[in-house]
Chain A
Amino acid sequence: MTPAHMLVQEAAPVTVGSGSNAFLEGLVATLGEYLPQWALWLGAAVTGVAIVMGLISLIAMFSVWLERKVAGHIQCRYGPMYVGWHGWLQSIADGVKLLLKEDMIPRDADRLLFMIAPALVLAAIVAAMAAYPLAPGVFFADLDLGVFFVIAMSSMTTIGVVMAGWASNSKWTVFGAMREAAQVVAYEIPLGVALLVPVMVAGTLNLREASELQSDWYGMGWFMFKNPFMLPAFVLYFIAALAETKRAPFDLPEAESELVAGFMTEYSGIRWSFFFMEEYAAMFLMSALAAVFFLGGFESPLTWAAGEFFGRELFVAGANGAKELNLQAIPYHAVAGLTLLIKTFAGIFLMMWLRWTLPRVRVDQVMTMGYKYLTPLALACALGAALWEAGKQALLG
Chain B
Amino acid sequence: MANEVTNTMPPSTRLRRTDASEVTVDIRTPDLEINFGPQHPATHGVMRVLMRTDGELVTGAQPHLGYLHRCAEKIGENVEWLQYLPYTDRYDYLASMNNNLGYSLAVEALLGVEIPRRATLIRIICAELNRIGSHLVAFGTYGLDIGAFTPFLYCFREREWMMSLFEKICGARLTYSYIRIGGVFNDAPPGWFEEVARFCDVFEQKWPEYVDLLLVNQIYVKRTANVGVISREMALDFGLSGTMVRGSGIDWDLRRDMPYMCYGEIWRDGAFTIPVAKGEMGALGDCWDRSWVRVMEMMESIKIVRWCLDHMVDGAVIGELPKTLKVPAGEAYVGIENPRGELGHYVVSDGGKVSVRTRVRGPSFCNLAVLEDILPGSLVGDAVAIIGSTDIVVGETDR
Residues of A within 8 A of B (CB): 71, 74-77, 171-172, 175, 178, 248-249, 251-252, 255-260, 356-365
Question: Known contacts being A171-B32, A359-B217, is A75 close to B154, with CB within 8 Å?
Answer: yes
- Docked complex Cα distance between A280 and B196 (Å): 45
Q: Are A359 and B146 in contact (CB under 8 A)?
A: yes
B147 and A76 contacting across the interface, CB-CB below 8 Å: no
B34 at the interface (CB under 8 A from A): yes
State A248–B144 Cα separation when bound (angstroms). 12
- With contact pairs A256-B41, A257-B144, A258-B380 given, residues A362 and B222 touching in the complex (Cβ less than 8 Å): yes
**Which chain B positions have C-beta within 8 A of A363?**
56, 379-381
Q: Are B145 and A257 in contact (CB under 8 A)?
A: yes
B170 at the interface (CB under 8 A from A): no
Q: List 16 A-B contacts (CB under 8 A).
A: A71-B149, A71-B150, A75-B149, A75-B150, A175-B380, A248-B147, A255-B381, A256-B147, A257-B42, A257-B147, A357-B213, A360-B147, A360-B219, A360-B223, A364-B56, A365-B222
Contact across chains for B379 and A364 when beta carbons are under 8 A apart: yes
Contacts of A252 in B (CB 8 A): 381
Cα–Cα, bound, A251→B157 (Å): 26
Consensus secondary structure, chain A interface: loop
Q: Does B220 contact A (CB under 8 A)?
A: yes
- Chain B nearest CB from A347 CB (Å) reads 20
| CA of A71 to CA of B150, assembled, Å | 8
- A75 surroundings in chain B (CB, below 8 A): 149-150, 153-154
Which residues of A lie under 8 Å from residue B220 when comparing CB positions?
359
B261 CB within 8 Å of chain A: no
**B247-284 interface bits toward A, Cβ cutoff 8 Å, 1 = contact, 0 = none:** 00000000000000000000000000000000000000
A242 to chain B, nearest CB (A): 13
Structural contact, A361 and B223, CB atoms closer than 8 A:
yes
Q: How far is the CA of A260 from the CA of B35 in the complex (A)?
A: 12
Q: When each residue 109-142 of chain B gets 1 if its CB lies under 8 Å from chain A and 0 otherwise, what string results? A: 0000000000000000000000000000000000
B380 contacts across to A, CB distance below 8 A: 175, 258-259, 363
In the complex, how many angstroms separate the beta carbon of B311 from the nearest chain A beta carbon?
34
Select the residue from A172, A255, A362 with max chain B CB neighbours within 10 A.
A362
Contact check, A258 vs B381: say whether CB atoms are below 8 A apart. Answer: yes
Cα–Cα distance between A362 and B383 once the two chains are bound (Å): 11
B contact residues around A358 at 8 Å (CB): 147-148, 217, 219
Contact A360 B40 (CB under 8 A): no
Inter-chain contact B157/A356, CB cutoff 8 Å: no
Select which of A171, A248, A256, A362 is within 8 A of B379 by beta carbon: A362
The answer to whether A359 touches B148, judged by C-beta atoms less than 8 angstroms apart, is yes
Among candidates B55, B145, B153, residue contacting A77 with C-beta atoms closer than 8 Å: B153
| Cα distance, A362 to B381, chains bound together (Å) | 6
Minimal beta-carbon separation of B68 from chain A (angstroms): 20
A-B pairs, 7 with minimum CB distance: A360-B147, A359-B148, A75-B153, A359-B146, A257-B42, A362-B381, A359-B147
